[in-house]
A and B are shown apart, each in its own frame.
Chain A
Amino acid sequence: MSTLTVGASVDRPVRRRSGAGRRRQSRETAVLVAPSVLLIVVLSVAPLLAGVALAFTDARLVHNPHYSFVGAANFTKLADNTMFWSSFRIGIVWAVSVTVLQLVAAMGLALLLNADLRLRGLARVLALVPWAMPPVVVSIMWRMIYSPNAGPLNAVLRAIGLPGDTNWLGSFTTALPAVIAVGVWVGMPQTTVTLLAGLQQVPVETYEAAAIDGAGAWRRFTAVTMPSLRPIVTSITSLNFIWNFNSFSLVYVLTEGGPGGKTMLPMLFTYIEAFQNRNIGYAAAMGVVLVVVVVALLGLYLWSQLRNEDKP
């Protein structure tokens, strides 16, 4: 991308120069671009290709390893692995619900923070707090909050007369929703900030015009705010979806995938395969499948969003 734009902008003034000058110019361009390309190749492309290549071997983390090429054997084995696919279903439920709830909650919070309220600055800072906390700290904090006998959540529920003995992270029905709630909480700040920035870009005049035309608050939101925010919503949901699908530390510390595999996200499953069972070839195959699926889902989503945008 950047290569193209640099080339295009440099070309125009060069038109009158000799062929030798143009060649020198493009050499200079290449020299300027080389460092960043090299970094990308060494730090991103090479590991990615190595990971994909690993998926076609029987590599294990052993002393003096000998890998051999096994073709698509890892993938055919994976196709029969019902445990992996059930973790995949859980991963989709997790990623979709966290992303959607994050968007809804963050939209509400952003609208609130955009309104002209007292102590708005303080409220904006407070809304950012979860962002400043490392995921492991967040998980430990929430594990304490959810603790069945000593947790504040159950204590509050008891105090207001509700059943206060729910085993949030240990029961089969509540574990996944409880983990999703933490996922939403921890991911809200960046969504809120992005949406807030978007809201501040919407010209005040459009709201005034809508108000003069007799539009109420809800109509102003659907007719003015939402269309102006659409590109931002599209990009932040796509990013959130990728982050959420790949999230690991939060759930690892909260439940380690339990109880009974109810919160076993695909990333956790892959981690266990790679670092506890030491089958890195097989784990790499899982990683490849995850990447392909995420890219496919995102492609579908972005395609439908962009198609909507093109319509008048």
Chain B
Amino acid sequence: MPLIAAAVAVVALAGCSSGGGSATATGSGTSSAAAAAPVTLTFQSLSDQPATIAATKKIVDSWNAANPDIQVNVVQASWDSVNDKLTTQFAGGTAPDIIHDDAASIVSFASDGYLADLTGQMSQAKKDDIGKGLLASVTVDGKVVAYPTEVQSYMVFANKTLLDQAGVTIPTGDSMTWDQFRQIAKATTKNGVAGVGWGLKSPVATFMTLGLGSGGTYFDGTGTKATIHVGDNELALPKLVHQMAYDDKSILPVTLTQSGSEALAAFYGGKVAMTVQGSYLAASMAKDAPSGFSWVVLPPLAGPQGAAQAADPQTLSVSADSKHAAQAVKFLEYFTSSDNLEAVNEADALIPATTSAQKAMATKLGSQNGWDQILKSGKDFQSAPFLFVNKYSQWKSTVATPAFQKYLANQIDDAGLTDALTNGWKQLG
């Protein structure tokens, strides 16, 4: 008998979860009526640098102290598994109120209806403060679905001692061309040292982001109507890496199969003169680099069509199921004020998404730890076409990642890569 009761309970629970939609509707109705009652918001944060966790905590604590009615509770999660986690959280109705993720991932969540529309709720001042390309990257079907907070650019970090020994003058100026980069890599490849350690285990993001430098847009159209094209512009960057690895032999081969952080070991160990990494590494490098290790950030990489990089900002959005969306937006407005954004980005060594915070950062930090170079790369962010392609993440994981890995391992040639990327896209159906 108790078993039958348990089975009934299971069925009843199943009924509850499928009726979640209507429960939410009544919930949001009551919350506006009882706005004065204290609410608690869950904020799932992905910050992984200790300094950023501390900076986030400081902002949340000051908010909680000033707003007894709207308490924010930070829950820590990890970047590694966040999209799988969010998928199950959304499906199970347990998503946090405030969601930390990146633009490339939330676009698909937004088009599947999981994120609240913030168009009317984000203040006009904030919209003006956020760069155009960045605001576009979080606008899905005409709706703003997130506050962009931090932007990563890919930067070249160099071992100053090895560059000096090879007689290379460290480039200055607003950008460094791909050819310059290749020459420096060649010049520093000697005495058992390779020019570059490039962690390309997950190559797609790097190629899509830096590929804009040669006009490599990969996709036309948006949503479900998008089509792919892989031509000379798209192949320029993969070709460059391939030539450096196999013709010049200026890339340490093992790093091509490693993650960025694994490739960093070779850089610290003096086995490579340069490494291409997300700008965020500047923060940990300032602390973790071996003592006496002298490093510099080189000017942003520029392809034949300029130094553009695709903007894939970190974002904060509100769950469509949240009962306290209005309160969540208030907190997000506070979180993205220029002082707060400056503090978080400084801790992460990333570029703030708002112009005012970028200015605050430039005045505060000057050129220490390569900040001037990193901020320079922030001027050329472009909204990337791939963000708005519905099947992008699917194509990335099942088609593009293995295809680029094969190409970098010299298993397929240019034609094979083009073929794998385009035919794989068609197979997604």
Contacts and interface: CB of A to CB of B under 8 A. Distances in A.
**Of A39, A83, A165, most B-chain CB atoms within 10 Å:** A83
B257 A170 contact: yes
Contacts of A165: 254
B396 to A, nearest CB: 9
**Of A82, A83, A148, A260, most B-chain CB atoms within 10 Å:** A260
Given A60-B112, A277-B398, A259 B265 contact: no
A264 B112 CA distance: 27
Interface residues of A, number: 37
A39 B6 CA distance: 10
A83 B424 contact: yes
B84 A275 contact: yes
Given A83-B424, A167-B257, A260-B409, A64 B21 contact: yes
Contacts of A38: 3-4, 7
Interface in B363-419: 391, 393-394, 397-399, 401-403, 405-406, 409, 411
A260 B397 contact: no
A64 B114 CA distance: 9
Nearest to B427: A81
A63 B113 CA distance: 5
A264 B3 contact: no
Contacts of B10: 42
A172 B84 contact: no
Contacts of A94: none
Interface stretch (B86-94, B143-151, B235-243): B86-94
Given A61-B87, A269-B398, A277-B397, A83 B405 contact: no
A150 interface: yes
8 contacts: A61-B112, A80-B427, A170-B201, A259-B402, A272-B398, A275-B87, A276-B84, A277-B398
Interface of B: 3-4, 7, 10, 21, 83-84, 87-88, 90-91, 108, 112-114, 201, 253-254, 256-258, 265-266, 269, 320-321, 391, 393-394, 397-399, 401-403, 405-406, 409, 411, 424, 427, 429
Interface of A: 35, 38-39, 42, 60-64, 77, 80-83, 148-150, 165, 167, 169-172, 257-261, 264, 269, 272-273, 275-279
The 9 closest A-B pairs by CB, nearest first: A170-B257, A63-B113, A261-B402, A62-B112, A260-B406, A260-B405, A277-B394, A35-B3, A260-B402
